[in-house]
Amino acid sequence: MSATETDTAVKSTPTRDTWNVLRRELKPVIRDPFTLIFSLVQPLVFLGLFAPLLVGSSGRPVGETLQWFVPGVLVMIVLFGTGAVGSNLQYEMMTGSHERTLVAPLSRSSLLVGRALKEIAPIVVQALIIVLIAWPFGFTIHAPGLVIGLALLAVFGIGLGSLSYSLALATKDREWLFWGVQQTLIFPLLILSGMLLPLDEGPGWMRAVAVVNPINWVVQAERMLFAGDLGSVTVLWGWVAALALAAVGLWVGIRSMRRSS
C-alpha cells in the first residue's frame, strides 16, 4: 500500500468521518447564532401566553405552575426543532449538495450520525435560555436535575432528528409529503404527551395512548428532574423511552442513508 493510500485509510474512519460531518453541520449555526434565538419565538409565545392561562385555571402560584410547564416547553422545543430538520436535508437533495457528499470518501453512517449529533448544541442552548427566562418568575433550578435533564433532551433529540432525516430521504423530491407527514404526527404526539395540558382528567382513551407515547415519558421525566426528584422511577422510564427512540431512529436513519442515491 502506498503512503497516500495509507494516509487515506487512516483519515477515513467512522469516528473521524462523523466528526467531520458534525463540524460541517455546526458551521452555519456558529456563523449565524441568531437563528437559534429566532427559533425560540414559538416556545416563548407559549411560555408568555399559555402559562398565565394555566395559573388562572389551576389557581396555583406562578412558580409552581412554571415548575410543571417549563419542562414541557423544553420538550416542545426538541419536538418542533428536531422534527423539522429533515427539511434541511431535502434542500440539500434538491440543490445537489447531498449527492456530492454521497460520493465523498465518508462512511454513509457518519452522514446520518454527524447530522443527528449536531442537534445537541441547539437543544442545550435554547433550553438554557428558556430556563433562565423563567427563573426570575419563580422557576426553581436544581443543578443536577438540569444537567441530567439536558442530557435526556439531547438523547431524545438525536432519535427524533434521525427519524426526521429518514423521512426526508423517504420523501425525496416530494417536499409536500414530508411536511404533510410531519405535521400530521407532531400535533397529536404533542397533545397526547401532556406537554401543555395535564391528561389526568382527559378521556380514558387519551390516557391509554399517553401511556404508550414515548414523548409522554420524556416529558414526565423532565418534570421530575427539574423538581429535583432524581431517583423517581418516572425518570428511569423517560431514559428508556429516549434511548429506545434514539436506537430506533439511528438504525432507521443509517439504513436509509446507506440506501440513498
DSSP letters, 131-144, are HHHHGGGTPPP-HH
Average pLDDT, the chain: 86
pLDDT higher than threshold 60 for residue 1: no
pLDDT tens digits, one per residue of 42-99: 888 888 888 888 877 777 788 888 999 999 999 999 998 888 888 888 888 888 887 8
> With 0-12 CB in 10 A as exposed, 13-18 as middle and 19+ as buried, what is 36?
middle
pLDDT higher than threshold 50 for residue 110: yes
Helix (H, G, I), strand (E, B) or coil at 48: helix
Provide the residue range defining the domain that includes 122: 3-259
Give the C-alpha separation, 247 to 74, whole Å. Answer: 21
According to the model, what pLDDT value does residue 112 have? 87
Grid coordinates 418516572 are at which residue? 234
According to the model, what pLDDT value does residue 167 have? 92
How many distinct structural domains can be found in the chain?
A: 1
Q: Are 127 and 74 in contact (CB under 8 A)?
A: yes
- The confidence band for 261, taking pLDDT boundaries of 50, 70 and 90, is low
pLDDT tens digits, one per residue of 237-254: 999 999 999 999 999 999
Instruction: Give percent of the chain with pLDDT exceeding 70.
Output: 95
Grid coordinates 380514558 are at which residue? 204
Is the pTM here over 0.75, yes or no? yes
